[in-house]
Structure 1
Amino acid sequence: MTNLCLKTIDPWFYKFVSLYFLLISLQTFAQQGNYRFNNFGNRSILLSGNVTGSVSDLGLVYYNPSFLTDVENVGFSLNAKGYQLVSIKLKGALNEDSNLDNTSFKGTSVMAGAVFNLLGTRFVYSYFTKANNNINLNYSSYYLNDDILSAFPDAEKHNAKISLQSNNRDDWTGITWAKKISDNFNLGISAFASIYNYSGRSDLNHTLQSTDNEVAFYQNVTSFNQKSYGIFIKIGANYHFPKFDLGLNINLPNIGVYNKGSFNYSEVLSGVDPEYNLFVDNSFNDLSAKRKEPFGVSIGAGIPIKKGKLHLNVDYVSGLAQYSRIDIPDIDTGESTLTPVNFDEERKTIINFGVGAEFFLKENFKAYGGFSTDYYALVDSANIFDLSSDGTKNINVGDNFYHLSLGVNWKLKWANLIMGITYTNGSNNFVSPYSLDVDGFDIDNNINSTIKYTRWQFVVGIDVPIFSKKVKEIMNKKDKSGSEE
């Protein structure tokens, strides 16, 4: 084969497929860079999370623990479970006429918990998945074009494969306690243990066969993993005024208990010419790592209007100065000097607001609706896409979202049934991070592309008052009727 490095055929293929990864990665980055992307608690979901001053379900553990003194003893509660339809479209990906889209349908996260009394004090035990997203993209193609043949005139067959993965999961388990300070003033606190795992992997392969049956091979693998155990604390307060309720919730920065990371980078080039043969393998374990979550304050009000209620909410979340999520040493890439690897994150200050409404229809039937903003906080994001890019640009994918919700609460003798739908929409201009000028394949990084994200969630939840007097009465009636027979 000609004495040309096989890596010369890599850029355009990798960049084209990476744009598709960039597209479907929006959902993962949204869960890390947007603070209101997911809501928790049956009624709280239908009110778009605007319940800091009026929460009345299990969501109080997250939105304002002080309302534990007021909420009905629901016993066991299962957060709204359902499915979501997500559509992401990128218009003008490589040129003005090129479009990419991705649609997925999957289940939503579940929150569960129970209210119980201990030593005359009320507590709540709760568990929920705060974030969970897995992306696995695999692409394979056999192709020979003029660009490859100009570099390898005797090429007969070429196969290129790329695999890109990004996995992010954050599970919270907590205990909530509240105390009535006076007839109108309450305080509460929630403490959550967080188990957080974040990983990514990029695997690129090229195999080239010549007419005389010689084979050249190129492989590039980059991967990282971050594991973090930490504690999140929320402090809530509420005051009952004559005509409305006012609530305050303080979200303290996370307390890191355990943080470790790993990073791997390998590159193999063989079969082109001994001059170009390459094998580098970098593997680092037990690296110093950090996970930072900012300080935040939420203020909300619940305003009764006849038999309904208006819910107002404002959230403030502070920014974070740039820091390294994983401290990765300089790596060997086959060059004369070691190559630095940056895995940095930075966040800006965010203020979100929202409004919810509760409508009385019948004594056992209520309707809910809500709207909230959800602005993107990440300035720099640490992700596998950055680590895999051969450019110097930070590839930061994110969007400002707007959430709408609508649903009903049907109160039965033995339970409360919650049914509803939520809608999320976001659209933003996007400038391609790539610039490539190869005959027959041009990527213009001056094109203003548009990313559009939509999500529909269909949810059903249930509150079962297992420990309430009402259930005991029902069971007693059944026992009496059974004994009479």
Structure 2
Amino acid sequence: MRVGFLVITVLVAVVAKSQDAHYWTEQYGTSSMLLSNSVFGSVEDLGAVYYNPARLSFIEDNAFLISGKVYQYSSYKFETTTDTERTSPQKQSAFGGAPSLLAGTYRIKGLDKQSFAYSFLGRRRMDINIIESNSAYGNVLPSIPGEEHFSGDVILQKKFNEEWLGLSWAYGPNDRFSIGVTNFLTIRKQQAADEMQIKVYTESEDVETFSNHNSYQFSHMGLLWKIGLAWHLNPVSWGVTITTPTVSLSGDGAFLYERVYTGIYDSNPVYELNGQRKLETTYKTPFSIAGGLGIKLKRGSLHASAEYFGPVKEYTLMSGVPFEGQSTGEVYQAYLIDELNPVLNFGIGYNFVLSDEIVGYLSYSTDFSAAVAGLNDDSGFRAVSYSSTFNSDINHFGGGVELHLKRVDITFGATYSTTKYTLERPISFPPSGGNGLLETGAQTDIRWNRWRFIIGISIPFLTDFAKKWEEKLFNKEETSN
């Protein structure tokens, strides 16, 4: 009996869950979420702080937006094929909250043609912790004579959280043109770990053990700017948005490596352990330029946008200090590398008017991966790890309705994202070579799906309420006089 399928099935999840190589995975604002990022030239809600800050000049009333009621259900399905067998499909799923937007606009007295906004948005977030275990009895490892009791555990973790805090300004000299800027403070924290533990009890009553652990973590703070231009000539609106690369402010990280192998059957026991902290970190993002337009139709609006992201040449995000393995005397040094290809995404959306109170939405957008094809170093010591590894393209679909009530706008909807790809990756044990735990030529088909369920609420500030009290107070003063 072979249990190698367990190991490869879980290890490929490292690739499946690294979605930080995609730029259009998130959407912001109530209606903008259901239009799948197609609103760079026509955004009409407070998603403008992200898509095109110049459009803030065309938002007539001060408003406060919470698009925090967003829940997502994501699932992975793995099916591995070797030269001799095809395993049963393995599944992983999770349900929870999704990144969201909190934003508000305000005016400053005396600056009638200028608009201001503040925002807090979750740019990227993922938290996956996979633990798989299996056991068997038989001739599991051909390199060990006779039959043995075998047990194995694989632990994989990857977590990252990126949040942006923004202040926006827009200036509209007339009702046809506007310019705007958003300055974002970016805060990113990322960590990843993979650990394998194998234990064998042989017919000769020997115990063979192998454990291997590699992990890293880093945090980074930086600044970037979104600069927008917007034109409005009824029935057409269009705009352009430029996003600058991130300017690093601070960052630090850590590496941890541990490897222990009893080496009973090849007389090469291994003990290696090293941890490093307070390592300097630099995190880079690409320059991008986006353009879009919106066309008012008789019973709705058509939206279309595209955004080009430039390449990021290979660079060292974090570099470890050389160290010597305790039992082997070998010198090791760890590197966390990142490299991103250029990407062009596009999206199209249509919102149609069903009545004065009900508006519907349909949309589609691409989400191409910028990750450079390749896998992390799969040796016992991971000398090179790649921060971005998921190189499959994602398709996004959106739909929903918006209810325009007397004092509040409520949006209900859902988005669906999906991708499928194939990965080849053999695993070798014992670490010194010989017969592997899994035959070479193993191939794993991976399917990833995500549903998001959206409840958005947009509440106008109490402008009318304040005006009424001001009028009452003024009239009262006149009466008293």
The TM-score range, normalised by the shorter chain, is 0.7 to 0.9
Q: Which moved more, 1:133-142 or 1:267-276?
A: 267-276
TM-aligned CA deviation for residue 401 of structure 1: 1.3
8 Å Cα contact 1:239-1:247 kept in structure 2: yes
Rounded Cα–Cα distance in structure 2 between residues aligned with 1:367 and 1:299: 24
TM-aligned CA deviation for residue 408 of structure 1: 1.1
> What SS does the aligned partner of 1:68 have?
helix
Deviations 1:100-135 (Å, cap 9, x if unpaired)?
Answer: 333332222221121122343432111121111111
Deviations 1:359-378 (Å, cap 9, x if unpaired)?
Answer: 11212221111111111111
Question: Amino acid of the residue matched to residue 266 of structure 1?
Answer: E
- Of 31, 35, 57, 1:47 maps to 35
8 Å Cα contact 1:192-1:232 kept in structure 2: yes
Q: Which moved more, 1:451-460 or 1:59-68?
A: 451-460
1:38 correspondence with 2:31: no
Aligned to 2:458: 463
1:453 correspondence with 2:448: yes
- Of 6, 16, 19, 2:9 maps to 19
Deviations 1:389-437 (Å, cap 9, x if unpaired)?
Answer: 8799989433111111111110111210011111112233x24122669
Q: For residues 147 and 391 of structure 1, do their structure 2 counterparts lie closer, same or farther at Cα, with a shift above 3 Å needed?
A: farther
8 Å Cα contact 1:24-1:102 kept in structure 2: no
8 Å Cα contact 2:187-2:222 kept in structure 1: yes
Q: For residues 48 and 61 of structure 1, do their structure 2 counterparts lie closer, same or farther at Cα, with a shift above 3 Å needed?
A: same
Rounded Cα–Cα distance in structure 1 between residues aligned with 2:410 and 2:381: 48
8 Å Cα contact 2:125-2:162 kept in structure 1: yes
Question: Amino acid of the residue matched to residue 464 of structure 1?
Answer: I
8 Å Cα contact 2:3-2:134 kept in structure 1: no
Q: How does 1:62-461 map to 2 (within 5 A)?
A: 62-79=50-67, 81-94=69-82, 97-98=86-87, 99-119=89-109, 120=111, 121-148=114-141, 150-151=143-144, 157-209=149-201, 215-270=207-262, 272=264, 276-333=268-325, 334-379=327-372, 396-428=389-421, 430-434=422-426, 442-445=438-441, 447=443, 449-461=444-456
Q: Structure 2: which 5+ runs fail to align?
A: 473-481
Q: For residues 419 and 262 of structure 1, do their structure 2 counterparts lie closer, same or farther at Cα, with a shift above 3 Å needed?
A: same
Question: Amino acid of the residue matched to residue 365 of structure 2?
Answer: S
Identity %: 24
8 Å Cα contact 1:331-1:341 kept in structure 2: no
Q: For residues 103 and 328 of structure 1, do their structure 2 counterparts lie closer, same or farther at Cα, with a shift above 3 Å needed?
A: same
Using the size of structure 1 for normalisation, the TM-score is: 0.85
> What SS does the aligned partner of 1:397 have?
coil
> What SS does the aligned partner of 1:56 have?
coil
Deviations 1:24-74 (Å, cap 9, x if unpaired)?
Answer: 752x322x1111111111110011111111011111111000011111325
Q: Which moved more, 1:97-106 or 1:270-279?
A: 270-279
Alignment length (residue pairs)? 460
> What SS does the aligned partner of 2:137 have?
coil
Alpha-carbon RMSD = 3.3
Rounded Cα–Cα distance in structure 2 between residues aligned with 1:226 and 1:247: 36
Rounded Cα–Cα distance in structure 2 between residues aligned with 1:47 and 1:350: 20
TM-aligned CA deviation for residue 137 of structure 1: 1.1
TM-aligned CA deviation for residue 85 of structure 1: 2.4
Rounded Cα–Cα distance in structure 2 between residues aligned with 1:58 and 1:199: 31
Q: Structure 1: which 5+ runs fail to align?
A: 1-11, 478-485
8 Å Cα contact 1:262-1:286 kept in structure 2: yes
Rounded Cα–Cα distance in structure 2 between residues aligned with 1:217 and 1:475: 79
Rounded Cα–Cα distance in structure 2 between residues aligned with 1:372 and 1:29: 20
Deviations 1:126-174 (Å, cap 9, x if unpaired)?
Answer: 112111111111122333331447526595x443222111111101111
Question: Amino acid of the residue matched to residue 87 of structure 1?
Answer: S
Q: For residues 441 and 387 of structure 1, do their structure 2 counterparts lie closer, same or farther at Cα, with a shift above 3 Å needed?
A: closer
Deviations 1:185-230 (Å, cap 9, x if unpaired)?
Answer: 1011111111110101222223444678765543322111111011
Q: For residues 426 and 209 of structure 1, do their structure 2 counterparts lie closer, same or farther at Cα, with a shift above 3 Å needed?
A: closer
Rounded Cα–Cα distance in structure 2 between residues aligned with 1:388 and 1:279: 12
Aligned to 2:47: 59
Q: Which moved more, 1:173-182 or 1:99-108?
A: 99-108
Q: For residues 442 and 366 of structure 1, do their structure 2 counterparts lie closer, same or farther at Cα, with a shift above 3 Å needed?
A: same
